[in-house]
Amino acid sequence: MQKSLHQAKFYKSTPNLLGLPADKGLEVALVGRSNTGKSTTLNTICGQHSLARTSKTPGRTQHLVVFEIDEHRRLVDLPGFGYAKVSRKTQLAWEKEINKYLNFRKSLAGLVLIMDIRHVLQPIEDELLNWCAEANLKTHVLLNKADKLSRGASKSTLLQVEKRLCSLIERGDLSVSLFSGKEKTGCEDIWLKLADWFSQELQD
Ligand SMILES: Nc1nc2c(ncn2[C@@H]2O[C@H](COP(=O)(O)OP(=O)(O)OP(=O)(O)O)[C@@H](O)[C@H]2O)c(=O)[nH]1
Ligand SMILES: [Mg+2]
């Protein structure tokens, strides 16, 4: 998987679903609140420095940004939920596009939900996880920015999150792991997930 991810290339950026490539093959999307490190995570797991654009200021990713791994497999970097500095109207428009994407994208094989380990399970994240469970969408949660906490505090947050989500985890479509896009730690679990999701039968 790592080798294929290394070859991922920018494919296109689009403000709405109409601009996405044909709904074929398999796609994995990175989703989360604004500034949790989605774009940094994408770069880290692909072993590339500047594939997706990152920024210190929230609201960097304003489109659905598609990266092609090969002819049949893609990663999609989604705009962050809840970015306060754009108008409410723009926020709602993004949320609507993300909701449509999650609801209707047939090639969506799995979702990577990025949370900031210092602010886990915010209401929008809870809502998203419940929706994923209802939709039977395979989801992996990365508790990102683990470098900001001590090892002990990171581990204890992981246990708390797993406890809160135990009923969803037991059903089998949800998993959680520690991650740091900055220190490039915690990649193994997500590589295994991607290898699994991307080996499903292709949508045509
Ligand atoms: N300490 C630390 N900082 C991180 C980590 N991952 C991302 N950041 C920082 O968090 C900020 C936001 O990172 P992005 O990757 O642009 O976040 P995003 O979720 O894509 O943001 P939007 O596209 O604006 O929603 C940047 O300043 C990153 O350097 C991490 O693992 N540790
Ligand atoms: Mg981003």
The answer to whether residues 75 and 69 touch, using CB atoms and an 8 Å cutoff, is yes
The pLDDT value given to residue 81: 84
Q: Which atom of ligand 1 is nearest to the CA of 59?
A: 24
Annotate 145-179 with b (16+ C-beta within 10 A) or e (fewer): bbbebeeeebeebbeebbeebeebbeeebbbbbbb
Give me the long-range contacts of 46-51 (CB less than 8 A, separation at least 24).
46/5, 46/6, 46/8, 46/75, 47/2, 47/5, 47/6, 48/6, 48/8, 51/8, 51/9, 51/10
The pLDDT value given to residue 84: 63
Q: Which atom of ligand 1 is nearest to the CA of 61?
A: 23
Residue 21 buriedness (CB in 10 A; 0-12 / 13-18 / 19+):
middle
Q: What gap in Å lies between CA 161 and CA 156, rounded to an integer?
A: 9
Per the confidence metrics, is the pTM higher than 0.85? Answer: yes
In this prediction, residues 19-40 reach a mean pLDDT of 96
- Residue 147 Cα to ligand 2 middle (Å): 19
Q: What gap in Å lies between CA 142 and CA 178, rounded to an integer?
A: 6
In this structure, the residue with its CA closest to atom 13 of ligand 1 is 37
The pLDDT value given to residue 186: 97
- 120 SS3 class: coil
Sorted by sequence, the CB contacts under 8 Å of residue 76 that are 6+ apart come out as: 27, 28, 29, 30, 64, 65, 66, 67, 101
The residue that leads in pLDDT, 81 or 10, is 10
Ligand 1 pocket test, pick from 31, 36, 40, 125 with the greatest ligand atom count within 8 Å of Cβ, gives 40
Q: Which of 16-30, 48-62, 125-139 has the lowest mean pLDDT?
A: 48-62
Q: Which of 26-35, 46-55, 57-66 has the lowest mean pLDDT?
A: 57-66
How would residue 203 be classed by pLDDT, with cut points 50, 70 and 90?
low
The pLDDT value given to residue 79: 87
- Residue 118 Cα to ligand 1 middle (Å): 13
What does pLDDT average to over the chain? 93
The domain locations on the chain are 2-197
Q: What gap in Å lies between CA 146 and CA 158, rounded to an integer?
A: 10
In this prediction, residues 162-189 reach a mean pLDDT of 96
One-letter amino acid at 121 equals: L
- Position 181 pLDDT exceeds 70: yes
- Position 204 pLDDT exceeds 70: no
The residue that leads in pLDDT, 57 or 184, is 184
- Residue 55 Cα to ligand 1 middle (Å): 7
Q: Which of 61-65, 118-122, 146-150 has the lowest mean pLDDT?
A: 61-65
pLDDT digit string (tens) for 65-123? 999 999 999 999 998 887 767 788 887 888 888 999 999 999 999 999 999 999 999 99
CATH 3.40.50.300 fits 2-197, yes or no: yes
The pLDDT value given to residue 90: 81
Q: Which atom of ligand 1 is nearest to the CA of 179?
A: 31
- Which ligand is nearest to the Cα of residue 34, counting in written order? 1
- Residue 192 Cα to ligand 1 middle (Å): 23
